[in-house]
Amino acid sequence: MATLTINGRPVTAPAAASVLDAALSAGIEIPRLCHHPELSAWGGCRLCLVEVEGQRAPVPACGLAAKEGMVVTTRSERLTALRREVLDFLLSDHPLHCVICDKAGRCDLQRYAYEFGLLDSSHEKEFSRTLYQDDNAFFIRDHQYCISCTRCVRVCDEIVGRPRSKCRSAASALTSPRRSTRRWSRPPAPSAATACRSAPPPPCCRWSGWARGGSGS
């Protein structure tokens, strides 16, 4: 066990816990997009940056081990500016179709954009990913909506245990908007990635969806 201070509060963290884990367990919210509790830390989204006493530059909380006596700040003017700039760049490469998007109201990117006062990007719009795959019975994989969180890749590598190029069901479940209508229009049917070897499957291999004919599967 390690006791550290986060935003002036003493927090006790179990061995091998990250600063992000310690903060979340204490009810301290830290913005994050690439984190998932059942996947390895990646730190690529750069939203979970925190300031650590004695270190000059902010570091990702998801990959930072909680240590005894550590003093951490999760909210500051510098961190707000850094997170806002990250979100600004993400929005420049992301369709802003929130009003008609199936994930409206349950989208972390949308939530953080509102939280940091971003209605659009200040950068020139340029979509780097244009691949559109309509070859799955349950999902459309529109890569314009990808935010490069790599969660789908890590699910394939770490949980499903298959090469990412062959892990189609789990990847599309994590990265793609659902086909057809919004989630409240028809009751969803629970399912799981068919390649998942865990029983029962972990949350990141489970989803709810609709078949093309309108019947759940």
Domain check: are 115 and 133 in the same one? Answer: no
Domain check: are 138 and 178 in the same one? Answer: yes
What pTM was computed for the model? 0.71
Question: In terms of residue numbers, what domain contains 13?
Answer: 2-75
H or E segment and range at residue 206: strand 206-209
Q: pLDDT tens-digit profile of 49-96?
A: 999 999 999 999 999 999 999 999 999 999 999 999 999 999 998 888
Domain check: are 119 and 84 in the same one? Answer: yes
Structural domains counted in the chain: 3
- pLDDT recorded at residue 152: 83
Q: Select from 61, 92, 125 the last residue of a domain.
A: 125
Domain check: are 69 and 93 in the same one? Answer: no
Domain check: are 120 and 147 in the same one? Answer: no
Domain check: are 63 and 89 in the same one? Answer: no
Give the CA-trace dihedral at 172, 61, 12, 112, to 10 degrees. Answer: -60
Q: pLDDT tens-digit profile of 94-126?
A: 888 888 887 888 889 999 999 999 988 888 887
Residues 111, 120: Cα–Cα separation, whole Å = 13
For residue 13, the domain's CATH number is: 3.10.20.740
Which two structure tokens, joined as six digits, stand for 131?
A: 């691949």
Whose tokens are 């179990």? That residue is 14
Whose tokens are 């998007």? That residue is 101
Given a cut of 80, is residue 22 above it in pLDDT? yes
- What does R_g of the chain's alpha carbons equal in angstroms? 19
Where helices occur in the chain by DSSP H, the ranges are: 19-25, 77-92, 108-115, 151-154, 168-175
- Do 50 and 57 contact (CB within 8 A), yes or no? no
Helix axis angle for 77-92 and 108-115, nearest 10°, is: 130
10 Å CB burial of residue 65 (0-12, 13-18, 19+) is middle
- pLDDT recorded at residue 165: 56
Q: Select from 65, 90, 125 the last residue of a domain.
A: 125
pLDDT band at 214 (very low <50, low <70, confident <90, very high): very low
